[in-house]
Amino acid sequence: MADLIHMSAAELSSALAAREVSSVEVTTAHLAQIDAIDGNLGAFLHVNANALAVAEEVDAARAAGEPLHALAGVPVAVKDVLCTLDMPSTAGSKILEGWIPPYDATPVRKLREARMILLGKTNMDEFAMGSSTEHSAYGITRNPWDGDRIPGGSGGGSAAAVGAYEAPLALGSDTGGSIRQPASVTGTVGVKPTYGGVSRYGAIALASSLDQIGPVSRTVLDSALLHDVIGGYDHHDSTSIPTPWASFTDAARRGAASGSLAGVRVGVIKELDSEGFQPGVRAQFHATLEMLAAHGAEIVEVSAPNFDYAVSAYYLILPAEASSNLAKFDSVRFGLRVTPEGTPTVESVMSATREAGFGDEVKRRIILGTYALSAGYYDAYYGSAQKVRTLIQRDFAAAFDQADVLVSPTAPTTAWKLGEKLDDPLAMWLSDITTIPANLAGIPGMSIPMGLAAEDNLPTGLQIMAPAHADARLYEIGATIEALLDAQRGAPFHTLNPHFSAGGNR
């Protein structure tokens, strides 16, 4: 049997079901990998001390012949934005240091109900604000391909954990690309489901109308398996979609088996195929398009003229909602409390707490959002941004008239050097240009590795988008493309990681 940490969740699931391996062994192997490399990698903020105990219970249940979920006993890491009953949930912020919620987020509850093994909580940009995980209050996370580079963000911890074999699966959250962009720069797979496809209950909110929880993995099938666990209607989240979903796992298996894209119309969004993108990224993208065409896909060019305004609109809507969502962090009921000298008042305590508890990027966005919602500015900023959002939805609707799926590079560049964009927030924001439109429109998007950029030998990602509710189409076509790419290179993408055979980085 292959080294346990290099196996996919699907492979582990089969091996566990066949009792070729125990959950304790699988969990131990992953905990050992975390123990060996995470001091340097920095993917985890908290490792679950209870993981092995749960693994033992699952093994006992299996031995007793209890019916178990396919992923029972398979480890999973959880982004720290999700509330967990038994582990601190900080969203990467000092203001929530040590806070243990009195409830599980719905996706976490579903992981437990499937009896998966929660390995711990992964690092992230504070309150998911950032594209590099450098804005975490608890330190940086490194890229498993090159330790001097960022793992993407905000979900750099989940992507790095999966990319560095600390976990086969992880949960992320995607508000403007926080699942897909880290997947792209770490050579992993990440999916942002249709808005409303996975409950947001217990996900510490950044921007309520954009946030979506989704899976992170090394293969399309693994993401589908995890999505099937966490997805579905939840009465605790009014924005969750009540209609049932078809099996994403079935869709992924169907796609992987087909080997052909005959009759599939693949739309290339002109505005997201920019000459300003890194040449190696563009080259990989065009090589991939040729390969798709060679296997029967019909490549069509589509235009989405309003995408030019997407980043601007996004950086009004997100801060506006965030400024309100983050108001609750005032020291009164939970989290950090800073009491200033002298005769403090409730206002001065709230103020001092927020001053000390929030990082610069968070403050920047709260100020921006507060301004955008102010009387006299609302129409010009928030109001206009909502109109742009409608226009972008129309662009997508028109594009999906011509194509079954839309594709673009997931990110304009490969992973940049740690610290490189830290002093240039605008440059950091622009790195989300490719992923933001899907959030504004509420449609599903997936990132799969497409190859290495010639100039730096770092992973590039292919973004695939489908109409709202057509997540299954993403999994089917994504799995076909993944299989074709794997066949072309003769091995799964992650085996290209120079640290692969060493079992990890550093």
Partner 1 sequence: MAKDALLDFDKALEIFEPVIGLEVHIELSTKTKMFSSAPNIFGDDPNTAITPVCLGLPGSLPVVNKEAVRYSISLGLALGCEIAETCRFARKNYFYPDLAKNYQISQYDEPIAFDGELEVELDNGDIITVPIERAHMEEDAGKLTHVGGSTGRIQGAEYSLVDYNRAGVPLVEIVTRPIFGTEHRAGEVARAYVSTIRDIVRALGISEARMERGNLRCDANVSLRLRGAEKLGTRTETKNVNSLRSIERAIRYEIQRQAAILEKGGIITQETRHWHEDTGTTSPGRPKSDADDYRYFPEPDLLPIRTTRETVEELRALLPEPPAAQRRRLKAEWGFTDLDFQAIVNAGLLVEVRETIEAGAQPQAARKWWMGEVSRTANERGVEPSTLVTPEQVADLQSVIDEGIVNDKLAREVLVGLMAGEGSAREIIEARGLAVVSDDTALIAAIDDALLSQPDVLEKIREGKVQAAGAVIGAVMKAMGGKADAARVRELVIERAAAV
Q: Which residues bind partner 1 (CB under 8 A)?
A: 82-83, 89, 91, 96, 99, 101-103, 105, 200-205, 207-209, 235-239, 320-321, 323-324, 327-330, 332-334, 346-347, 350, 370, 373-375, 378, 382
Q: Which is nearer to partner 1, 237 or 420 (CB)?
A: 237
Q: Which of 93, 154, 199, 240 is catalytic?
A: 154
The DSSP element (H or E) to which 390 belongs, if any, is helix 384-402
- Non-local CB neighbours of 157 within 8 Å, separated by 6+ positions: 42, 43, 44, 45, 77, 79, 80, 122, 123, 124, 133, 136, 141, 151
Distance of closest approach, residue 473 Cβ to partner 1, in angstroms: 25
Maximum CA pair distance of the chain?
Answer: 74
Q: Which is nearer to partner 1, 235 or 363 (CB)?
A: 235
Q: Phi-psi bin for 135: left (phi > 0), alpha (psi -120 to 50), beta?
A: alpha
What span, in angstroms and rounded, lies between the C-alpha atoms of 136 and 157? 10
Distance of closest approach, residue 381 Cβ to partner 1, in angstroms: 11
* 94 tagged catalytic: no
- Non-local CB neighbours of 501 within 8 Å, separated by 6+ positions: none
127 DSSP 8-state letter: G
Q: Which is nearer to partner 1, 323 or 460 (CB)?
A: 323
Q: Which is nearer to partner 1, 28 or 393 (CB)?
A: 393
Distance of closest approach, residue 201 Cβ to partner 1, in angstroms: 5
Q: Which is nearer to partner 1, 77 or 406 (CB)?
A: 77
Distance of closest approach, residue 323 Cβ to partner 1, in angstroms: 8
Q: Which is nearer to partner 1, 99 or 309 (CB)?
A: 99
Distance of closest approach, residue 328 Cβ to partner 1, in angstroms: 5
Q: Which is nearer to partner 1, 320 or 453 (CB)?
A: 320
Count of CA atoms in the C-beta half-sphere (13 A) of 69? 19
- How many angstroms separate the Cα of 412 from the Cα of each of 141, 275, 489? 21, 10, 23
* 13 tagged catalytic: no
- How many angstroms separate the Cα of 100 from the Cα of each of 48, 76, 82, 86, 110? 13, 19, 11, 7, 19
What span, in angstroms and rounded, lies between the C-alpha atoms of 33 and 40? 12
- Non-local CB neighbours of 260 within 8 Å, separated by 6+ positions: 295, 296, 480
The DSSP element (H or E) to which 60 belongs, if any, is helix 51-63
Distance of closest approach, residue 81 Cβ to partner 1, in angstroms: 8
Q: Which of 13, 22, 23, 79 is catalytic?
A: 79
Distance of closest approach, residue 130 Cβ to partner 1, in angstroms: 18
Q: How deeply is 446 buried, as exposed, middle or buried, from its count of CB atoms within 10 A (0-12, 13-18, 19+)? A: buried
* 110 tagged catalytic: no
What span, in angstroms and rounded, lies between the C-alpha atoms of 11 and 7? 6
Q: Could you write out the DSSP letters of every residue in 471-501?
A: HHHHHHHHHHHHHHHHHHHTS-GGGGSTTTT
Distance of closest approach, residue 379 Cβ to partner 1, in angstroms: 11
Q: How deeply is 348 buried, as exposed, middle or buried, from its count of CB atoms within 10 A (0-12, 13-18, 19+)? A: middle
- Non-local CB neighbours of 416 within 8 Å, separated by 6+ positions: 132, 149, 150
Q: Which is nearer to partner 1, 83 or 252 (CB)?
A: 83
Q: Which of 23, 136, 173, 178 is catalytic?
A: 178
How many helices (H) and strands (E) the chain has is answered by 16, 11
Distance of closest approach, residue 435 Cβ to partner 1, in angstroms: 19
- How many angstroms separate the Cα of 253 from the Cα of each of 56, 330, 346, 425? 30, 48, 57, 41
Are 477 and 254 in contact, with CB atoms under 8 Å apart?
no
Q: Which is nearer to partner 1, 226 or 350 (CB)?
A: 350
Helix axes of 471-489 and 279-294: crossing angle, nearest 10 degrees: 100
- Residues known to be catalytic: 79, 154, 178
